[in-house]
Amino acid sequence: MGTLVGHVAPGLGFLLIGLWHLFNHIKLHALNPKAYKGPSWFPGSKFRYLELVLIMGACTASVAMELFIGPDRHQPLDPDGTIPSNHLHNFEHSSISMTFFLYAACAMLLDRAHVQARYQLTQLLGAVAFAQQLLLFHLHSADHMGPEGQYHLLLQILVFLSLSTTLISIGLPESFLVNFVRSISVFFQGLWLVVMGFALWTPSLVAKGCYMNDEDGHMVVRCSSQEALHRANALVNIQFSWFIIAVTLFAISFYLLLLKRYGENVRYFSLGNEDEESNDDVESQKNDNTKSFIHVMAKTFPQNHMER
């Protein structure tokens, strides 16, 4: 991270995984809502572990980029073997990627071993990965005092939402709402990372009164005054609120679209028709009761007795 590509690339990964989970959870619930139980990950049609392998591949590429490809000497250490200050964030980002790699690898091993508690353990590993991500973003070594810090602060809200819903799903695997919200939060994480990449490393998108400054080989957005900083942070908040509206609208529309495609047929009728049908039922029930009463009386009192 720390560059446009460093935010956009992992952002696309989170976005696609979140969208993949959102699609599959909605489809699974629409096909059989009564027997729904959301899995930790979804197997591919031709290769069962495609999702997990892609996660491991993306994490491996991220670690390689942070520690070996990105640094000028293609290794992150000083000649004396210590970690230089300008590469601390590289180790932090790579630690996040390693934790998600661990999640995917262990999820595959637990599935192949047919462990009875593999769902709970896999969800716990996912929670550990999100907790690691939240911890390192919150205690980031980079200076996040400007607009970049506001972007990361709002990102932490999304990571916390992913963490909390993952923990809740361990005890409530049948809850579609929990899995639905978690999928949206992962999708939103990816989308927000992509937005951060373009907003913080595209000069034309930097807020008025702010500029890009080269600090220890990294471009950082700084503001010329406290007023400009306050305005830039407020714009980030407004931007985030607009994305909340957009993502919510997308999620509901996506749900209704897939429900129409895969869901059971539902019969709809107006309240007026329902009242008329209810009245018809009442009248027919009265007629049936009257006929039953006459039939019983006829059996109890034969016709010759009635004539007398």
Per-residue pLDDT tens, the chain, 308 aa: give them. 668 888 999 999 999 999 999 999 999 999 999 999 999 999 999 999 999 999 999 999 999 998 888 777 777 787 887 888 777 888 889 999 999 999 999 999 999 999 999 999 999 999 999 999 999 999 886 666 789 999 999 999 999 999 999 999 999 999 999 999 999 999 999 999 999 999 999 999 999 999 998 877 778 899 999 999 999 999 999 999 999 999 999 999 999 999 999 986 544 444 444 444 444 554 454 455 444 444 444 444 444 444 43
Q: How many CA atoms lie within 13 A of 161 on its CB side?
A: 17
252 contacts: CB under 8 Å, gap ≥ 6: none
Q: How many CA atoms lie within 13 A of 95 on its CB side?
A: 15
Q: What predicted TM-score, i.e. pTM, was given to this entire model?
A: 0.82
* Structural contact between residues 212 and 219, judged by C-beta atoms closer than 8 angstroms: yes
